[in-house]
Amino acid sequence: MAKKWGIRALLLFGVYALAMYYYIFHNGSGDIPAALKGTVADPHVFMSGRELYLSEEYSKIKNFLFFVATPFEWLVYLFILITGLSLAFERWIPLQNKWAILQSAVYVFLLSLLTFIVFFPLEFFRYVLSKNYGISTQSFNSWMRDNVIDFWVNFGMTVVIVTVLYWLINKSTKKWWFNAWLLMIPFSIFLMFIQPVVIDPLYNDFYPLTNKDLETKILSLAEQANIPTEHVYEVNMAEKTNALNAYVTGIGSNARIVLWDTTLNRLSENEILFIMAHEMGHYVEKHIYFGIAGYLLTMLIGLWLTARLMPWIIIHFGRVLKIKRLNAIHSLPLFLLITSFLLFVSSPLSNYISRYQETRADLYAIELVDDPEAAISTFQELTKAGLSEVNPPLLVKWFRYSHPTMLERISKVANEIGKEE
């Protein structure tokens, strides 16, 4: 029975991968609307022929990898279950029935190590792809160091979460999901609070903006927006990437506005001020707090659905999946498979909300700095630096784009200029 399941899963994955390959590489979508051809939103206007070719090629490969990688993750979890590996990992745990956190640590380490090895070729291919297209500037040693840090950071957090999760399941197989959600609220807020000062510095160096004249102008914008802040931070990303970025991170006293040094090196002062105004727009519109609320609501619904699906699957397919009971840690891959699936299918909704917030931040920035030309040139530079698709296929936009497409962002600014004229 397990063998049949494995063959069916592989065939289904193969059919899905072929369908996505055809959709991304051969559906002919992504063309610029006739009304926008020759305008500032048309990539043929602001990108060279080589940049256009590389952008189209690079975007298609990245999009295909995205749509294949997540179902491949589900396939891996399924095979870990049906082959009995998960059950074997639990049996290898020393000191059974003692020190739950030690048992969780051993199991999670074995599962994490296996998935790290399985997914490493895919991650390495992404790294090489980014290097070949001139996006990444990171050395292999530096990239590998980040992967090792990722492994141990995720391992530490997962051990804590899994230990508490299965303790709650053992306490109540019916209400564990709600109790888990209640505990995840302070844990998630704590992680958001410490991320800028504890987690992020593990990967890069952060320091106050060295260009004090620029910092003064940014802080002047912050004052106009009634944002209490004393510093803008920059981070040394040039040794890792040619892409441009700026973001808001953290909450409370640890909230930070961060600029990549690549952004500082490549964009003009007016373009940087527009980006900063955009990030301030998120603060003024309270998107961080709406994001936290949305995250907690999504988690509540996700845990509730998982609590309904897991027992049903175990009752009907537990023998094939080698799962003896819900409250045993060897059921963890099923938990991870379900939550990964729910996150994937809900991503169009979360991305839609995010795109709305990004549009609001764009409009706020345009009003604050009153320099639409800088906004347009900023979006054009971001497109060229990241070899981004300005008008991706619909499914790609739904599942991948947390920001409006560059076609939408540039044309919206151009429309605002048209209204003023």
pLDDT value at 87 more than 70: yes
Percent residues over pLDDT 90 in the chain: 47
Tokens encoding 242 = 């040619």
CA 280 – CA 284 distance, rounded (Å): 6
Render pLDDT for 346-392 as a digit per residue (tens, 0 to 9): 999 999 999 999 999 999 999 888 888 889 999 999 899 888 888 89
How much is the average pLDDT of 266-278? 91
With CA atoms as reference, report the closest residue to 135 among 245, 31, 41, 48: 245
Residue 416 pLDDT: 67
Residue 145 pLDDT: 95
Q: What is the DSSP string of 158-221?
A: HHHHHHHHHHHHHH-TTTHHHHHHHHHHHHHHHHHHHIIIIIGGGTS-EEE-S-HHHHHHHHHH
Residues 228, 239 contacting (CB under 8 angstroms): no
Residue 69 pLDDT: 95
With CA atoms as reference, report the closest residue to 60 among 13, 27, 16, 12: 27
**Residue 143: pLDDT band by 50, 70, 90 thresholds?**
very high
- Judge whether 278 is annotated as a binding position: yes
Non-local CB neighbours of 77 within 8 Å, separated by 6+ positions: 333, 334, 336, 337, 340
Residue-range domain boundaries for the chain: 2-203+287-420
* Residue 8 burial class via C-beta count within 10 angstroms: exposed 0-12, middle 13-18, buried 19 and up: exposed
Residue 212 pLDDT: 86
Residue 254 is classified by DSSP as G
Render pLDDT for 170-217 as a digit per residue (tens, 0 to 9): 888 889 999 999 998 898 888 888 888 888 888 988 888 888 888 888
Residue 13 pLDDT: 93
Residues 332, 69 contacting (CB under 8 angstroms): no
Render pLDDT for 274-313 as a digit per residue (tens, 0 to 9): 998 998 888 888 888 888 889 899 999 999 999 999 999 9
Residue 421 pLDDT: 52
Residue 334 pLDDT: 96
Return the active site residues: 279, 362
Render pLDDT for 47-60 as a digit per residue (tens, 0 to 9): 888 888 888 899 99
pLDDT value at 96 more than 70: no
pLDDT value at 343 more than 80: yes
- Judge whether 367 is annotated as a binding position: no
CA 249 – CA 195 distance, rounded (Å): 8
Please name every residue paired with 256 in a beta bridge, in sequence order, or none if there are none: 249
Residue 419 pLDDT: 57
The mean predicted confidence, pLDDT, of the chain is: 88
3-state secondary structure of 260: strand
**Interior/surface letters 9-42, b for 16+ CB within 10 angstroms, e for the rest:** beeebeeeeeebeebbeeeeebebeeebeeebbb
Q: How many CB atoms lie within 10 A of CB 115?
A: 17
With CA atoms as reference, report the closest residue to 211 among 240, 238, 233: 233
- Judge whether 271 is annotated as a binding position: no
Q: Which position has the token pair 């063309």?
A: 31
Render pLDDT for 216-265 as a digit per residue (tens, 0 to 9): 888 888 887 777 666 788 999 999 999 888 887 777 677 778 889 999 98
Render pLDDT for 148-164 as a digit per residue (tens, 0 to 9): 999 999 999 999 999 99
- Structure-model confidence comparison of residues 43 and 62, the more confident one: 62
pLDDT value at 144 more than 90: yes
